[in-house]
Amino acid sequence: MSLVKPTHAGYFFGQSIITLAARLRAGSVTSVELTQAALDSIERLNPVLNAFVHVDAAVALAQARKADALFAQGQDLGPLQGMPIAVKDNIDTFDYITTYGSAHFDRFKPSHDALCVQRVREAGAVIIGKTLTHEFAYGPTGDRSLQGAARNPWDARCITGGSSAGSAAAVASGMVPLALGTDTGGSIRIPAALCGTVGFKPSFASVPLDGVFPLASSLDHVGPIANHVEDARLLFEVLAGRACQPAATPRALRVGWITCASFGPVDAELHQQVYQAAQQLFGEALQETDALQKIAAGMKDTLQTLQRAEAFAVHAERMRDAPHKFDQEVRERLEVSSEVRGWQYIRAQASQAQYKAAMARLFEDYDLLVSPTVPITATQVNARQVRVGEQDIDVRAAVLSHTSAWNLTGLPSISLPVGHVRGMPVGLQVIGAAGADDHLLQVMSQLFVPITGGG
């Protein structure tokens, strides 16, 4: 596989924040210069990609000057200091309008930062703007929001995936080296895979959700999008408010490749590409497992029941008082969601606990599970059917099919860019045991060298 660049690439394409942090400390670049490079890249690329929905150069440059002033005083807050970062627009920021992708909040200015934003700020990062979210994060395509559709850097006719649409497009295109996303059924990993970057959904509740607009409270996660696993790991440390624990003495990994049919149909060429990447990464350690085949459908139903009931609980008054302010597709999903019965929700909670227990047992046999992140490449904006093999399948169901089980069970999982199929990026998903975020990130940081990365 050759090094390729997306049609639309900015200053930070493929850049590692480790390199950038070293350059900042060596004085060969300033935070103001990096911030200006991000602003220039956004100015050039955003009219096509629609990744950012609010950018304020003055606000960003003021933060950059503050970071540079700290460097000048010899103060070092760690690897994020002076680094431009994008924040998904369903995460509150006191200094940027925060719309949640919805007409209901078209002029909303939060009074406080979300706790995760506060932590990033305290680490010295420069919040350069807010990125497009699928309306209320309720959709995996990233093409329905107050601000329209985000566009894929590798082919602007195509979706980014979502709901962290703009954050993935912003990093994948090199507008910024880092971004925050949220993930309730795959919303970090899906656009990371479809845009060709790294997206990490941590263990449930490892990053606080205060100030993040809820989609479904038992499934919501905040996490990093970056060019490199190590960058994602450094941002995760800041988000989680703790340093990663050193990995235990390494021993032979046991890696389970999830039998592809388990979660639904997979594009054949994509399957081959991702499987080869997994073989290159894990070699002999990789073994097929069909342990999920029997429970995959139940997991999907359970997640859907939880997500629907919890999502409608967030929006009931808006659905009653101003339904016209919702995007039609989101409104229709919410109408269906209102129908879930209380007793079904209670059963789903019980099932969720059982699936978590089943995964704990499965991870006695494996250290990691792997699968394609998304079984198809990015489809055209607004397309809702796609042909996979001989089947016409629903785009939304397909893109969610391999990721949502790890929201239900709360396990850490990361999507890695492992090349291209028919010119579009594809992702390998690697899943760790509950709470084993540090191990997953450290192992994959050592093993994985981005195939498409610059650096």
CA pair distance 192, 195, nearest whole angstrom: 5
Between 94 and 345, name the residue whose CB sits nearer to a second copy.
345
Token readout for 298 is 């139940």
Closest CA to 298 of 257, 265, 263, 266: 263
Between 7 and 338, name the residue whose CB sits nearer to a second copy.
338
Smallest distance, a second copy to C-beta of residue 200, A: 28
Question: 3-class secondary structure for 360-408?
Answer: HHHCCCCCEEEEECCCCCCCECCCCEEEECCEEEEHHHHHHCCCCHHHH
Q: Which of 31, 164, 167, 187 is catalytic?
A: 187
Smallest distance, a second copy to C-beta of residue 349, A: 9
Binding part of the chain for a second copy, among 12-20, 90-98, 281-289, 334-342 by CB under 8 A, reads: 334-342
Contact predicate 377/421, CB 8 Å: yes
Select the residue interacting with a second copy from 248, 284, 320, 343 (CB under 8 A): 343
Select the residue interacting with a second copy from 40, 339, 365, 394 (CB under 8 A): 339
Binding part of the chain for a second copy, among 113-121, 228-236, 340-348, 386-394 by CB under 8 A, reads: 340-348
Q: With contacts defined by CB under 8 A, how many residues of the chain interact with a second copy?
A: 18
Does residue 337 belong to the site contacting a second copy (CB under 8 A)? Answer: yes
Phi, psi at 281, each rounded to 5°: -70, -45
* Catalytic status, residue 88: yes
Smallest distance, a second copy to C-beta of residue 353, A: 13
Does residue 99 belong to the site contacting a second copy (CB under 8 A)? Answer: no
Contact predicate 374/191, CB 8 Å: no
What 3-state class would DSSP assign to 221?
Answer: strand
Binding part of the chain for a second copy, among 43-51, 150-158, 325-333, 341-349 by CB under 8 A, reads: 341-349
Between 341 and 422, name the residue whose CB sits nearer to a second copy.
341
CA pair distance 38, 32, nearest whole angstrom: 10
Q: Which of residues 168-227 bind a second copy (CB under 8 A)?
A: none
Between 227 and 407, name the residue whose CB sits nearer to a second copy.
407
* Catalytic status, residue 163: yes
Q: Which of 16, 31, 41, 88 is catalytic?
A: 88
Binding part of the chain for a second copy, among 86-94, 230-238, 253-261, 337-345 by CB under 8 A, reads: 337-345
The β-bridge partners of 151 are none
What 3-state class would DSSP assign to 243?
Answer: coil
Contact predicate 16/231, CB 8 Å: yes
Q: Annotate 212-222 with b (16+ C-beta within 10 A) or e (fewer).
A: bbbbbebbbbb
Contact predicate 273/426, CB 8 Å: yes
Binding part of the chain for a second copy, among 175-183, 333-341, 382-390, 391-399 by CB under 8 A, reads: 333-341
Question: Within 13 Å and on the Cβ side, how many CA atoms surround 447?
Answer: 20
Tokens 């205060």 found at? 210
Select the residue interacting with a second copy from 244, 253, 276, 345 (CB under 8 A): 345
Q: Which of 16, 102, 145, 163 is catalytic?
A: 163
Contact predicate 415/441, CB 8 Å: no
Smallest distance, a second copy to C-beta of residue 350, A: 8
Smallest distance, a second copy to C-beta of residue 214, A: 11
Smallest distance, a second copy to C-beta of residue 404, A: 18
Task: Give the other-Cβ count within 10 Å of 244's Cβ.
Answer: 16
Q: Which of residues 301-330 bind a second copy (CB under 8 A)?
A: 305, 308-310, 312-313, 316
* Catalytic status, residue 206: no
CA 332 from chain centre, in angstroms, equals: 25
Closest CA to 130 of 90, 173, 190: 90
Active-site positions read 88, 163, 187
Contacts with a second copy, residue ranges (CB under 8 A): 305, 308-310, 312-313, 316, 337-347
